[in-house]
Amino acid sequence: MKDDGYLDLSDHDSFSKGVPHNTFERIRKEDPVCWTEEINGRGFWSITKHADILKINNNNKVFSSAKGIRIEDQTEEEYLARRTFQETDPPEHRITRMMLAPAFSQKAISNFESMIRDLAKKIVDDALENSEFDIVEKIAKQLPMMMLGRILGLPDSDLEWLVVKGDALIGNSDPEFTDHIVDKLDSSQYRFMPFRSPAALDLYDYAEKILNGEIPIDKNGVLSKVLSSNSAEKVMQPHEFKNFFCLLIAAGNDTTRYSIAMSMYQLSLNNKLIVDLKTNNYWSTCADEFIRLASPTMYFRRTATCDVEFANKKIKEGDKVILWFVSGNRDKEVFIEPHTPIISRSPNPHISFGQGGVHFCLGIWLARMEVRIILEEVVKRINKIEPLSEPTWTRSNFICGVKSLKVRIN
């Protein structure tokens, strides 16, 4: 669909050739807090400017996560069946967050640096045995899957299967990832499942096997720590664990894959970036710049808990409020040349990780490190990436990414 500046943000097809940046740009200019009609729903407020997103994200009393975090309308029953700590507000949210935070802290993740480096070297060396290949499949997809497995403590042999299921969950509107396209088929039988997806049934089943000890998990991994938590305040109940497991499989994989894919895509569009990375020391800033441009989870939703006036608009209690991080990340009031990769950009106040809110990404240190290290290992070994085809993009207004990109490497 051509982006004439007027694409429908509620329609997944509007995103099937990449993010409709012209549409977001027009909205930011003309009506940055605007009511958006929905094809299959009651409509929502689109928040498109960086400053407004930060204000709302920072006010969870008025803009709550506890009614759902994606655009889809849910009944209370559906919400309760599917919710994880990401769909709660403080103080409830804080208990699980505090339990998980140490395992994902900068310090904890720094211990994985040499493991990530070894995996990245092997992935890149294997890919470069050929000079032409799909760089998403052979490079971007591999590292996040392997690292998530190691951090969670899952057997290597199950990782590929888990990634297929994770893709089907989070890519629930893309026919390449699922036969059960959420906006085309009747998904009511799966309405109590994460992402209304049948893949969640398989992941629930797998999580059940973990709970029953039928799947061996590493004692030092996050899952084992969560299950053995003896905090009086927090013991994860089996159903909660299953939803939490689905959240991690969905959140920890595609997001980092699409950030790496965006890095590779940008290098292929402008090989001078490769020279700059080889000759200048931009390693501390480049990953964030590519993650800004990728903005893989394009939005998260909040729901107004009371009538409130915001930016001269009357938001009513119960209204859905969509924080379009992907739009805030290209706001020219904050970013000079917002559509250009400036790998030395510093500071880089992007909001791809939901910065500014209590739910800001737990995987931030892991994702940054993976993107940086794989870039280092790629750039060391090559001089040029030549695109052999146009990239293909996810069909989704929630998750954005380059799904495939055929390249020739020199």
Q: Return residues touching ligand HEM (CB under 6 A).
A: 65, 69, 85-86, 97, 148, 247-248, 251-252, 255-256, 259, 291, 296-297, 300, 325, 352-354, 357, 359-363, 366-367
Q: Which is nearer to ligand HEM, 144 or 391 (CB)?
A: 144
β-bridge partners, 310: 313
In the complex, minimum distance from the CB of residue 23 to ligand HEM, in angstroms, rounded to a whole number:
20
Alpha helices in 179-280 (DSSP H): 199-211, 222-227, 238-251, 254-269, 272-279
Q: Among residues 395, 280, 392, 299, which one has the least CA distance to residue 346?
A: 280
What whole-number distance in Å separates Cα of residue 175 and Cα of residue 400?
14
Shortest separation between residue 12's beta carbon and ligand HEM, angstroms: 19
Cβ closest to ligand HEM, residue 325 vs residue 335: 325
Residue 303 beta carbon to ligand HEM: minimum distance, rounded to whole angstroms: 12
Show the tokens assigned to 92.
């409830």
Q: How far is the CB of 270 from ligand HEM (least distance, A)?
A: 21
| Closest residue by beta carbon to ligand HEM | 363
**Of residues 124 and 371, the one with the C-beta less far from ligand HEM:** 371
Of the pair 252, 391, the CB lying nearest ligand HEM is at 252
Give one word for 12, left, alpha or beta, with left for phi > 0 and alpha for psi -120 to 50: alpha
User: Among residues 264 and 409, whose Cβ is nearest to ligand HEM?
Assistant: 264
DSSP per position, 79-96:
HHHH--GGG--TTHHHHH
Closest approach of Cβ 85 to ligand HEM, in Å? Answer: 6
Task: Decide whether 180 or 257 has the Cβ nearer to ligand HEM.
Answer: 257
Residue 132 CB, shortest distance to ligand HEM, in Å, is 27
Tell me the C-alpha distance between 347 and 285, whole Å: 9
Whether 111 and 366 have beta carbons less than 8 Å apart is answered as no
Distance, in Å, from the CA atom of 139 to the CA atom of 120, rounded to the nearest integer, reads 8
